[in-house]
Structure 1
C-alpha cells in the first residue's frame, strides 16, 4: 500500500488530525492538505504518481529545430558522411543560421533513438595525435580494396596531406603496382608541388627496405631520392602511424556504400571524384581548427618543399610533466621522452627546441629544469641523476 493511501485512510477514515499524521509518517502537513484535495476531486487517481516535468521549458529547442536536427542526421547518413553532433552543429550554423550546442544535439539524437551506445569503445583522449606543421610537409599514402557490382576486386590508391587532411589524389585501379604508385605520385606532384616527405607502410610498392636488400630501391624510392624527398615508413604492425590515410579509407568506403555498386572502374572513379569534391571543399572536418574544410586549411599556409620547408624543430611548445616525471617532444617524426624528475609532477613547462638543443623551463617560475642536446637515436632522454635512494656511507 502506498504512503498516499495510508495518509488519506488515516485522515478520512480514522479521523486523525493532519498534524498528527504528518508527524507519524514523516511528511509535511501542506502535502497532506494537497493530497486530500486531489482525492476529493479525482478519487483513486490521486494515488498515482504525477510527472515532475515543469509546465513550461523556456530553454527547450523549438520543435522545428529538433525536426531539422533529425532531418540533417538522416541526410548526412544517407550520403555516407559524418553525422555526429559536432558536424550537425556546423551545418546548422553555416547553412541554417541556427546555433545549437553539440551537447543539445546529442541529447535530442539519444531521445529520438538514433544513437547506439558503445561503452566499450576506446576514448579518443587515449590516442597521441600529431600532425605536420605545413601543407606538403608530409604526404600519407596507402591503397585499400573494393569490389565492383559483378564481384571483381579492385584497389583504390590514396594520397592525403598530413597537415590539412586534403585528399590530393584518389584513384581506382585493377591492381596497385609499383608502376601505378610512381605514375600517380608524379601526377600528384605536378598538381600540388613536391612534398618535403612521404609517409607509407612497408608495402613493396612503396619500399623494399624489408626485402633483405634484394633488388635495390624500387621506382618510387628512386623518384623520391631524385627529388630529394624524405621517405618515412611506419614500423611494422603499427597501422596507427598512417592513421590519417587509414581513417580516410573508412570515410571513403562509407560514402561509396551509399552509391549504387559501380559496374566498371571508370564508373567507380566517377563516384570517387564526386566524394572527393565534397570531402575537400564542403564537408567540415572534426580534426581541423573551427571545423574547417581540408581545402581551406591546405591553401591557408605556405607549402613545404625539400628546399624551403620551415624547420618545425625550431619552436616553443608547452607541456605538463607526467606522473613518470617526463615530457614528450617529437623531432623529425619520432617521439622522444625527456626526463625532468618525478618531483616536478604536473608542473607546466615551456620546451625551447633549436634543432637538437633542448631547454625545458618551468612556465611559472622561469627556472631552467633541463638544458641539453637531444640524442635522436634514443627514445628516453635521461636526466643523468643516479637512480634510487642515496646510500649512506658506512
Structure 2
C-alpha cells in the first residue's frame, strides 16, 4: 500500500526512472522535476536499472531474519493446545510461556482462523454458503416468545412484580421465512406451531414473496414434528416447492434464520420495555419494514435485503 504522504506513485517512479535511465537526465534535474530528494531519485533509478518496472513497487519492511522469533517448539505447543482445547490467545498465554499478543501472532502466522468462525463441536471452519438468486432457498423456523402481560413484565415492573403479573400470558409463535440470497424476511405472530399452522404460513409466505417478485423454489426447515408431517409435504407439493431438512443436531445449517431471530429479539422484542403484548406487536410491522428496506445488513456487505432482490416492483422502469 502506498503511504498517504508518498510524493510518487509507482507510475510517477517509472516516469522518473525512465527520464534518468532512458533519456539521460542528470539525477539532480530529475529530482527537481518530480519534487523529490536526490537520494530518492537515485533509489528509483537504481531499482529500475536492476529490476525494471517491477522493482518500483513498495517492498515489505519485514526483516529477512528474526533472531528473537518464538522458538518452533513453543509455537508447536501453542498450536497443539489450540487444536486440543479450542481456546484463544489469552488462555493460551496462561498455559504457555508466551504473551497473549505473541500467541495471537503465532496463530495468525500459521493461518488459524478466529474461534468465532469454527464449529465448536468439531473445531473445523464453518462452511458458509449463499444461494445465487432470490427464491432458490428460503429458510423457515419458529421462535417461541413469552407474551407480555397487560401492565408490563419484569423489565417494566421489576423482577418480583413481573413474575406475579405473568401468570397465564402464554407464548407467541413467530414464524419466519427468510430468503437465503437476499435475507428478505416475512414473519407472522401465530398462536401455535402445529402442522396445519405451519403449512398455512408457508402458503401465505409464498404469496408475499411472489408479490416481491420472488418465486420460492426450495424451503429448508429443521426436523420439528410439524415439518415432518404429510400436511407440510402436501402443501409444498401443491405450491411447487421442494422441501429440505437440516441434518439432526446441526442447527447451524439453518443459521441464517436463527441469526435473524436473534436480531429480531435484540432490536425489537427486547429493545425497550413494553407495557403489553399488544404494544410490542404494534411496533413489529415498522421494525420489519426497517429490516427489509432500510437496515444495512453486515452479512451482505452492508446492503439492505430489498436491494438484493433485483426484480422488486418499481425498482426498474
* TM-score normalised according to structure 2 size: 0.50
2:243 aligned to 223, 231, 234, which one?
231
CA–CA separation in structure 1 for the residues paired with 2:138 and 2:291: 17
The runs of 5 or more residues in structure 1 that have no matched partner are: 1-120, 209-216, 303-394
The match for 1:159 is: 177
Describe the SS at the equivalent of 2:134: coil
CA–CA separation in structure 1 for the residues paired with 2:275 and 2:209: 29
1:249-260 matches, cutoff 5 A: 249-255=261-267, 256-260=269-273
Shift of 1:269: 2.9
Aligned positions, number: 171
Q: 1:104-126 CA distances to partner (integer Å, 9 max, x unpaired)?
A: xxxxxxxxxxxxxxxxx823373
1:2-21 matches, cutoff 5 A: none
1:198 and 2:219 are equivalent in the alignment: yes
1:293 aligned to 291, 304, 307, which one?
304
* Root-mean-square deviation (Å): 2.3
CA–CA separation in structure 2 for the residues paired with 1:221 and 1:203: 13
The match for 2:127 is: 128
**Normalized per residue, which structure has more helix?**
2
Describe the SS at the equivalent of 2:299: coil
1:177 and 2:185 are equivalent in the alignment: no
CA–CA separation in structure 2 for the residues paired with 1:268 and 1:179: 26
Describe the SS at the equivalent of 2:273: coil
1:263 and 2:284 are equivalent in the alignment: no
Describe the SS at the equivalent of 2:226: coil
Shift of 1:178: 1.7
The runs of 5 or more residues in structure 2 that have no matched partner are: 1-113, 119-124, 150-165
1:276 and 2:288 are equivalent in the alignment: yes
* TM-score normalised according to structure 1 size: 0.41
**Normalized per residue, which structure has more strand?**
1
The match for 1:207 is: 228
Describe the SS at the equivalent of 1:224: helix
Shift of 1:207: 1.6
| Alpha-carbon contact 1:148-1:261 (below 8 Å) kept | no
Q: 1:29-49 CA distances to partner (integer Å, 9 max, x unpaired)?
A: xxxxxxxxxxxxxxxxxxxxx
CA–CA separation in structure 2 for the residues paired with 1:200 and 1:286: 23
The match for 2:61 is: none
Shift of 1:187: 1.4
| Alpha-carbon contact 2:203-2:239 (below 8 Å) kept | no
| Alpha-carbon contact 2:141-2:176 (below 8 Å) kept | yes
| Alpha-carbon contact 2:198-2:226 (below 8 Å) kept | yes
CA–CA separation in structure 2 for the residues paired with 1:124 and 1:282: 27
Q: Which has the higher contact order (CA 8 A, sep 6+)?
A: 2
Q: Would the alpha carbon gap of residues 268 and 171 (structure 1) be closer, same or farther in structure 2, given more than 3 Å must change?
A: farther
1:293-312 matches, cutoff 5 A: 293-299=304-310
Describe the SS at the equivalent of 1:206: helix
Deviation beyond 4 Å, 4+ runs, structure 1? none
Per mean C-alpha deviation after superposition, the further-off stretch among 293-302 and 185-194 is 293-302
The match for 1:20 is: none
| Alpha-carbon contact 1:139-1:160 (below 8 Å) kept | yes
Q: 1:146-167 CA distances to partner (integer Å, 9 max, x unpaired)?
A: 1122232222111100111111
| Alpha-carbon contact 1:171-1:269 (below 8 Å) kept | no
Q: 1:128-148 CA distances to partner (integer Å, 9 max, x unpaired)?
A: 100111101111000012112
Q: 1:189-221 CA distances to partner (integer Å, 9 max, x unpaired)?
A: 12222411000001111123xxxxxxxx1x221
Q: 1:220-255 CA distances to partner (integer Å, 9 max, x unpaired)?
A: 210111233111100110000000000001000001
CA–CA separation in structure 1 for the residues paired with 2:238 and 2:270: 40
